[in-house]
Amino acid sequence: MPEKRARRRLCGILSADAVGYSRLMEKDEKSAIRTLEDSKRLMSELIEQFKGRVVDAPGDNLLAEFVSVVDAAECAVRIQEALNKRNAELPEDKRMEFRIGINLGDVIEEGGTIYGDGVIIAARLEKLAKAGGICISGTVHEQVKNKLSLRYEYLGEKSLKHISEPIRAYHVLMEPSVSASEKNGFLKLPDKPSIAVLPFVNMSGDSEQEYFSDGITEEIITGLSKIHEMFVIARNSSFTYKGKPVKVQQVSRDLGVQYVLECSVRKAGNRVRIAAQLVDALTGNHLWAERYDRDLIDIFALQDDITMKILTALQVELTMGEQARVFAKGTTNFEAYIKFLQASKYFSRGNFVLARQNAYEAIELDQNFPAPYVLVAWTHWFDARFETTESPVDSFKQAYSTSQKALALDDSIPDVHALVGGIHLYQRQHAKAIAAGERAVFLGPNHAEAHAIMAHILRFAGRFEEAISMIKKAVRLQPSYHYWYLMELSMCCYWTGRYEEAISVAKKFRQLAESAGHAEAIWGYHLMLTLNYMKLGLDQEARDAATELLRLFPAFTLEWDRRYSCYKNPEYLESQHKDLRKAGLK
């Protein structure tokens, strides 16, 4: 008799696996088992709703099949949404996330179970998925890309264990549903008044007066940023439009704001003329417009007047405390203010010597002006942090003592509290660093840099999820953000097991660093690749990245990394160094 032929068929295969199940079991076995069973019950119910069948569910795994791969993909999205909603109701240490892989392939059915390469590929894809995410094969993508309103991130061709040919892989992007404007590439408007202050146009005809017009712009941005009821785009993003003819509607779309302030300034002798207008970029309506002719000695009162006119036009209700912060400028000495603006210009260019020199000249003119003290303290902090000084210890001491002078003059400045947090962090005083960082964020609810530094502090404190939320808020506040923001995000993704996402963020980090002309920072990209490739089991790719890291930064050693990395829990550093050693770094 001829041998009975195995039953083969094409189907959609869904493979799911709990992330960190062993860790949860160690903490609370009963709770982990209960959460697992509840999660698998929820998944099974949804699979049945989408006309699928649970084939097997051993331990923390689940395997299901679908007649339609479109049903399989839509079901996976519904599963992750439902699990995410359930996790939101649980304490963080009891949450259980799943990775899901989906493939369309040929399987062999025997005794109610399915076997074959199609199943293996689904299981391998699941390992590539992020926690709470979905990874699909190229064959699935071809079937669903025009049938489901989802977005996908191409991961390239992946060599999977026990599979002879590379498989095209995609992440299903799990962001919440977006508005029509977001689908067209626009940022979603915040749920409170949002504004971008464009750089004041220098009408004097004297290029040397640029720092004056820029300084007025920055002062108004700073004043508005202290208002909790507003969403204010950071200075760096607003200044990308400097010197460019641009329509307010384009600014609104680019930065995700409703209101735009446009101004021009003409300085002649001891007189200044400022023309300002506030526009609702969504309707094109002018909410307020005014022209000012003042003596230079009135410049601070003029800045306050403009700021308050904006707040009144937007009908923002302030508390007296917030009003006081808006009007607290710290100096009435115009020459000291000009020196501070010049110091700020040098600081932004990384010339700390000239920045300190001009800041000290500002202090000589007005010893009660806090802003230049803050700037001097930051220059010492960067010298210590990047070891561009003979004694980093002394530089940290100088940074701290100078920051205390600034605090004594005005303790409401977000920058100085963020700086103090950074000083405490590098002295391994994590509790003090967090307290200072929290104060900075409270005082600067729209201060991108304060949020980014707080993310840096939280990462080293081991509070990675909070750090991710904080750095994403910084990115949203400052769409033209500094590339180092992405270093923080990539490292936090690494620590939370989102290795593919960490690599994707690292690639954006490299692009930004290169576009900013900072090729010297590219070694950080290869460091992130080394760590995440190793976690993904791509050992050769990790070793190649480590080789490139050393080529770009020959001084990198694990001891250097130990001096820089301020993890509260030393086990994190040891785990990080374990991955780096495997890649050949010493």
582-585-586 Cα angle (round to 5): 110
Q: What percent of the chain has pLDDT over 90?
A: 39
Residue 1 has pLDDT above 50, yes or no: no
Mean pLDDT score, 443-462: 92
DSSP assignment of 380-449, as one string? HHHHHHTT-SS-HHHHHHHHHHHHHHHHHH-TT-HHHHHHHHHHHHHTT-HHHHHHHHHHHHHH-TT-HH
pLDDT at 469 over 70: yes
- What pLDDT sits at residue 259? 87
What pLDDT, on a 0 to 100 scale, did the predictor assign at position 334? 62
311 or 87, greater pLDDT: 87
Strands 259-268 and 194-197: parallel
Residue, of 323 and 20, whose pLDDT is higher: 20
* Contact between 542 and 523 (Cβ < 8 Å): no
pLDDT digits (tens, 9 = 90+) for 400-430: 999 999 999 988 888 899 999 999 999 999 9
How is the chain split into domains, by residue range? 7-177, 194-327, 485-586
Q: Residue 264 and residue 97: Cα distance in Å, rounded?
A: 53
The pLDDT score that the predictor gives to residue 103 is: 93
Q: How far is residue 339's CA from residue 345's CA, in Å, rounded to a whole number?
A: 10
pLDDT per position as a tens digit, 110-134: 877 888 888 999 999 998 888 889 9
Report the distance separating Cα 396 and Cα 424, nearest Å: 9
pLDDT value of position 2: 46
Model confidence at 329: pLDDT above 70? no
What average pLDDT score do residues 469-475 get? 92
- What pLDDT does residue 296 have? 75
Residue 502 has pLDDT above 50, yes or no: yes
Best-predicted range by mean pLDDT among 31-35, 178-182, 392-396, 567-571? 567-571
Instruction: Tell which wins on pLDDT, 380 or 158.
Output: 380
184 pLDDT more than 70: no
Task: Output the pLDDT for position 178.
Answer: 39
pLDDT band at residue 548 using 50, 70 and 90 as cut-offs: very high
Q: In the predicted model, what is the mean pLDDT of residues 534-558?
A: 93
Contacts of 135 (CB under 8 A, 6+ apart): 99, 100, 101, 102, 125, 126, 128, 129, 155, 169, 170, 171, 172
Task: Write down the pLDDT at residue 304.
Answer: 67
Helix, strand, or coil (residue 266): strand
Predicted confidence at residue 325, as pLDDT, reads 40
What is 528-577 written as a DSSP string? Answer: HHHHHHHHTT-HHHHHHHHHHHHHH-TT--HHHHHHH---SSHHHHHHHH
Q: Is 475 exposed, middle or buried (0-12, 13-18, 19+ CB in 10 A)?
A: buried
This prediction has a pTM of 0.58
pLDDT digits (tens, 9 = 90+) for 3-38: 555 677 889 999 999 987 777 887 788 888 888 888
Strand-pairing partners, residue 65, are: 13, 53
Mean pLDDT for the chain overall: 84
Q: Spell out the CATH class of 194-327.
A: alpha beta
Residue-wise pLDDT tens digits, 381-403: 988 887 888 888 899 999 999 99
Can you give the pLDDT at residue 311? 59
The domain 7-177: what is its CATH number? 3.30.70.1230
- The pLDDT, as a whole number, for residue 512 is 85
Examine the pLDDT at 505 and tell me if it is beyond 90.
yes
Range with top average pLDDT, 220-229, 251-260, 441-450, 487-496: 487-496
Bridge partners of 399?
A: none
What is the predicted pLDDT for the residue at 4?
53
- The pLDDT of residue 5 is 56
Statement: residue 439 has pLDDT above 60: yes
CATH of span 485-586: 1.25.40
